Amino acid sequence: MAEHHLTLPLDEATVRGLGLGDTVYFNGTFVTARDEAHIHALEKAEKGEPLPFDLDGAAVFHCGPIMRDLGDGRWEIVAAGPTTSSRMNNLEPKFLRTFNVRAIIGKGGMSRPTVDAMQEMGAVYLAITGGAAVVAARGVSEVKGVHWLEMGMPEAMWVLEGDDFGPMTVAIDAHGNSLFEAIDAEVERNVPSIRQRLGLD
């Protein structure tokens, strides 16, 4: 499986070239967005209002970091692991189609409508190790800014500069394949023998 060190923003050809299980690192600017930032961004788009950060070709990180306030609008990143992506399942397909985002970074995977939207638009889902918040924070060289801080530290949109941010694993590619669906199928195959072992049949 290949290893890629990519520069943001991403173009469609690069993203379509990523294979399931490949390892990816990012250099360049990307943003965080959780439940409330997704909702807020989509509301703004519906009203025809611009976003404070251009998401065309962007990478969006499902993350609510711990930041230390250094004053004068400056912030230090303390810990920044991924949050559970499935909470955004009902928002992500529209989010991908509206903003032309090229990569979602998170943990735990996302459901079929998101896989389909990624195939259609040319986007990938990158799994980064859940809980490994210090490793992730070390891959951020600078906190460039924050938007919508009134939604709270976890829910705000943080603008981060990646410096070999990773490792991330391509877990949903831009061709309709999901590593999580493959694991789900394997889990289903394993259930009957576990049931038998536990005397449930």
Partner 1 sequence: MIPDSLIEDVVVQMLRNAVTKLPHDVEDALVRAHATETDEVPRTQLKTILDNIAMAEDAVTPICQDTGVQIFFVKQGAVETGDLVEAIGRGVARATGEVPLRPNTVHPITRANHKDNRGVRMPYINIEPTAEPYLEMTVMPKGAGSENMSQMAMLTPSQGIKGIKQFALDTLVRAGGKPCPPIIIGMGIGGSADISIHIAKEALLRPLGEHHPDPDIAALEKELYEALNEIGIGPMGLGGRTTLLGLAIEYAHCHTASLPVAINIQCWAARRCTARIHPDGRVEYPTHPGGA
Residues interacting with partner 1, by CB under 8 A? 1, 21, 23, 36, 63-66, 68, 78-81, 83-84, 86, 107-109, 127, 129-135, 137-138, 152-154, 167, 169, 171, 179-180, 182-184, 186-187, 189-191, 193-195, 197-200
Of 115, 103, 120, the residue nearest 60 (C-alpha): 103
Q: Which of 4, 38, 40, 175 is catalytic?
A: 38
Q: Cα-Cα-Cα-Cα dihedral of 98, 178, 174, 21, to 10°? A: 130
Catalytic residue status for 38: yes
Pick between residue 12 and residue 91 the one whose CB is nearest to partner 1: 91
Q: What are phi and psi of 58, to 5 degrees?
A: -85, 165
User: How far apart are the C-alpha atoms of 158 and 176, rounded to whole Å?
Assistant: 29
Q: Say if residues 25 and 168 touch (Cβ distance below 8 Å).
A: yes
Pick between residue 77 and residue 121 the one whose CB is nearest to partner 1: 77
Angle at which helices 112-121 and 92-99 pack, to 10 degrees? 10
Q: In what helix (H) or strand (E) does residue 104 lie, and over which residues does it extend?
A: strand 103-106
Shortest approach of partner 1 to residue 129 CB, angstroms? 4
Shortest approach of partner 1 to residue 43 CB, angstroms? 16
Shortest approach of partner 1 to residue 81 CB, angstroms? 5
Pick between residue 9 and residue 106 the one whose CB is nearest to partner 1: 106
Catalytic residue IDs: 38
